[in-house]
Amino acid sequence: MLPIGSTIGILGGGQLGRMLSVAAAQLGFKCHVYEPEKNPPAGETSAILTTALYTDYTALEKFAKSVDVVTFEFENIPSKTLDYIESIVEIFPDRKALKISQDRLFEKNFLTKLGLETAPYLKVDDVTEFKDAVKKIGTPAILKTRTMGYDGKGQVKITNEDQVKQISKTFKTSNHILEGLVDFTKEISVISVRNSKGEISCFDPGENLHENGVLKTTTIPAQIPRALITDAILLASKILTALDYIGVLGVELFISKGKLIVNEIAPRVHNSGHWTQNGCVIDQFEQHIRAISGWPLGDGVRYMNVTMENLLGNDILNTEIISQDARAAIHLYGKKETRPGRKMGHVNRLFPKN
């Protein structure tokens, strides 16, 4: 067990880092956040902030030597940076999960090997592979970059032959996959956690609605059959165990024709788990800090029904109106600049559990 007063290093200073640092402070830890951008959301809530590039090895060394354990709040940290940090201090979750989730092809291969269903997919490295993949998978389909994609970025939906011709003419970069479009009825996610003793806890699956590829709301409980809820939890546990994982893992699933299809896994706390801050005694942020610190896991049982709504862009201007609802728990990220679609905060609305 990491002693109280230890320092946790967090790579990335966004809202997830901010909420992790608040949870860490509650347990008596200090946080040291490392973030290339100035004035990050997590800087305001952490004991120490380093503003430096991920390629600044002097700053990385100082950071790594100042902390007792390192975690991260987003996946796309350069592997050389992680190699360097890891030569000094342990990183949780470990590199295996990151390697898989950083690359959509590795991720889908891993899930398939585990016997889980994904959208049909093929790797696309050139025009010939692209045309071949369209022939085999058919349309509608989605061409996705293998790496660095998030919130629907780096994705093109392909619905007709003209588009195939157009992309064939301009396709230059390698490292893509083509995914068949899943005809889903609902999107759900399971926020799961595992500690070094192999103990696992999963929060109730939430039902997610997206707007332009960005999560808008998560509603708990998901309105799906009980058996699917159990299956989703077992599926997440299977992934955690296969990865010998330590920390919180988000598992995004489609429900299609009564079956669970894995969309992607995120080796970190997850936007669709923000409802746990007000619906549970121990939330996803505390579970993550507990897991990476070698503490026993908390009880993730849910006490309320919750709707989590992301405040995107100018939605933040409605804060005063939202604040008039006494059952609306507001969480703002302290971002200085509002941009369309930018995650500025979220609100958890609570309802009695029936």
Alpha-carbon span 31 to 10, nearest angstrom: 7
Nearer to ligand AMP, 150 or 303 (CB): 150
- Does the footprint of ligand AMP cover residue 152 (CB under 6 A)? yes
Piece of 7-15, 78-86, 149-157, 320-328 that binds ligand AMP (CB under 6 A): 149-157
Nearer to ligand AMP, 78 or 213 (CB): 213
Per DSSP (E only), the strands in 77-148 are: 121-124, 141-145
In the complex, least distance from residue 242 CB atom to ligand AMP, rounded to whole angstroms? 20
- Identify the bridge partners of residue 192 per DSSP, sorted by sequence position: 202, 249
Nearer to ligand AMP, 181 or 242 (CB): 181
Piece of 68-76, 77-85, 144-152, 242-250 that binds ligand AMP (CB under 6 A): 144-152
By CB under 6 A, the residues from 71 to 90 that bind ligand AMP are none
CA dihedral 199, 204, 205, 207 (to 10 degrees): -160
CA geometry: angle 63, 65, 67, nearest 5 deg = 75
Nearer to ligand AMP, 152 or 313 (CB): 152
In the complex, least distance from residue 263 CB atom to ligand AMP, rounded to whole angstroms? 5
Nearer to ligand AMP, 119 or 344 (CB): 119
- Identify the bridge partners of residue 72 per DSSP, sorted by sequence position: 11
Complete DSSP assignment for 156-214: EEE-SHHHHHHHHHH-----EEEEEPP--SEEEEEEEEE-TT--EEEPPPEEEEEETTE
- Does the footprint of ligand AMP cover residue 107 (CB under 6 A)? no
Burial of 339 (0-12, 13-18, 19+ CB in 10 A): exposed
Q: How many residues bind to ligand AMP according to rule CB under 6 A? A: 14
H-run or E-run covering 230 = helix 226-242
Nearer to ligand AMP, 66 or 139 (CB): 139
Nearer to ligand AMP, 58 or 173 (CB): 173
Nearer to ligand AMP, 42 or 141 (CB): 141
- Does the footprint of ligand AMP cover residue 213 (CB under 6 A)? yes
Q: What are phi and psi of 223, to 5 degrees?
A: -85, 75
174-203 footprint of ligand AMP as x/- string (CB under 6 A) = -----x-xx----x----------------
- Does the footprint of ligand AMP cover residue 119 (CB under 6 A)? yes
Nearer to ligand AMP, 150 or 351 (CB): 150
In the complex, least distance from residue 252 CB atom to ligand AMP, rounded to whole angstroms? 6
Q: What are phi and psi of 24, to 5 degrees?
A: -65, -40
Considering all CA atoms of the chain, what is the largest pairwise distance in Å, rounded to the nearest integer?
61
Kindly tell me which residue out of 8, 142, 191, 280 binds ligand AMP, with binding defined by CB under 6 A.
142
- Does the footprint of ligand AMP cover residue 138 (CB under 6 A)? no
Per DSSP (E only), the strands in the chain are: 7-11, 30-35, 48-51, 69-72, 121-124, 141-145, 155-158, 176-180, 186-194, 200-202, 206-211, 214-220, 247-256, 259-266, 305-312, 328-332, 343-351
In the complex, least distance from residue 119 CB atom to ligand AMP, rounded to whole angstroms? 4
Residue with token string 């230059």: 172
Residue 4, SS3 per DSSP: coil
13-52 footprint of ligand AMP as x/- string (CB under 6 A) = ----------------------------------------
Q: Is residue 331 within 8 Å of residue 347, measured between CB atoms?
A: yes
245-274 footprint of ligand AMP as x/- string (CB under 6 A) = -------x----------xx----------
Question: Which residue type does 230 have?
Answer: T
Alpha-carbon span 36 to 88, nearest angstrom: 20
For ligand AMP, the binding residues (CB under 6 A) are 119, 142, 149-150, 152, 179, 181-182, 187, 210, 213, 252, 263-264
